[in-house]
Structure 1
């Protein structure tokens, strides 16, 4: 059964299917705030997404960042708002994710992909200023340690590193390949900042799967032509920013939309505390 919210006109035009009933539907992902389908007719396929809450404004991220900066993301075919939800039709950029095949080579390719994203100059101010550290900490309300070292380190990055696009969810499930090139998908959380939470998330997942951190960071440094000492600082600060955003999401949205997300809080708090200690 295909979803009732399917934007049939754009899908039929893109796939050249004669009718909705002729489409083959494959549910790829379903969370409390998002639903993703692959719809195909013969050899033609598209990805259709519906998002609510924090996932509802991906079209805005395309308009702000992806399209004008020509970032490596699926081509936007159609987008509209349906009440509180955002619906997108996107080009299908591949059937294999880094989550499905988490090879060492794949993580290196992902590091190079991130270097391309971060190498794209952008106008605009940071959307994660140092003051936001304390604001998020107060909103989360469960942090029993001082966040000053993180706020100070983030302020330093604003002096030493350029503001660039942060994907916001640069994890294996959102890195897709068609066998020849890699693409980053799922852009609704994108924003501007000087830290490297994206690289932190990539390395975090790689290490959890048994890969070494060093080659992945080195690949990013080489591909980006960056200073390794600055990158290490950007990654560490980015890790703290990732933990704060993740905790804020769980407290404000996840507890309501994702069963079991309460269990994420204590590990994230411990991870954040460890990062803050390294910055002290």
Structure 2
């Protein structure tokens, strides 16, 4: 994907979070080529063991904490602004869905339109801005001797959003039967702050 090299160079690597090293890259208008570190042979989809998913939860917490701490000091404001997704952006996306002929009468979306602004306001007040992988699924989590390495950062952005944790909770339950609480406890063991409300 054309955007992926830029994401690694401008956002992922400056934030000093765990990610493959890029040795060389060529960027074209609508595509790109990267020569990247071989970071592992197996992912969580191939070896869906509970300890791996728990480690993926801890790794997610580590990278979020580190990204939050490094964001303003290591990433230029212009880059932050270009990757930042505001709460209003999510509301625009919801409005776009409701303009669709197939979804305009969706009871779920209409109910969501009433409650989402309040929840977004609370989320953006309580949870610090961090990097969002936006595809934190088993296939993108490589198993290494010293833990888990997320790959494929092409969709990354900046927000307090907790979708990565939500995806991991669902994936862990589907692939190996871990409960939501087990994943959350592993996450909270690193972060120390309460986020349970936001993913119920």
TM-score (norm 1): 0.60
Instruction: Report which stretch shifted further, 147-156 or 185-194.
Output: 147-156
1:191 is matched with which residue?
157
Q: CA deviation at 1:176?
A: 0.2
2:183 is matched with which residue?
216
Task: Report the 3-state secondary structure (helix = DSSP H, G, I; strand = E; otherwise coil) of the residue aligned with 2:178.
Answer: coil
Q: Any unmatched runs of 5+ in structure 1?
A: 1-50, 237-280
Q: Any unmatched runs of 5+ in structure 2?
A: 73-79
Task: Report the 3-state secondary structure (helix = DSSP H, G, I; strand = E; otherwise coil) of the residue aligned with 1:186.
Answer: coil
Instruction: Report which stretch shifted further, 177-186 or 200-209.
Output: 177-186
In 1, distance between residues paired with 2:93 and 2:168?
A: 23
Runs of 4+ displaced beyond 3 Å: none
In 1, distance between residues paired with 2:125 and 2:158?
A: 15
Task: Report the 3-state secondary structure (helix = DSSP H, G, I; strand = E; otherwise coil) of the residue aligned with 1:106.
Answer: helix
- Are the equivalent residues in 1 in contact too, given 2:5–2:27 (CA < 8 A)? no
The 5 A counterparts of 1:96-175 are 96-120=42-66, 121=69, 122-123=71-72, 124=80, 127-140=84-97, 141=100, 142-143=103-104, 144=106, 145-146=109-110, 147-175=113-141
In 2, distance between residues paired with 1:97 and 1:158?
A: 32
Over the aligned positions, Cα root-mean-square deviation in angstroms equals 1.7
Task: Report the 3-state secondary structure (helix = DSSP H, G, I; strand = E; otherwise coil) of the residue aligned with 1:80.
Answer: strand
- Are the equivalent residues in 1 in contact too, given 2:5–2:25 (CA < 8 A)? yes
TM-score (norm 2): 0.82
Higher strand share: 1
Q: CA deviation at 1:89?
A: 1.2
1:234 is matched with which residue?
198
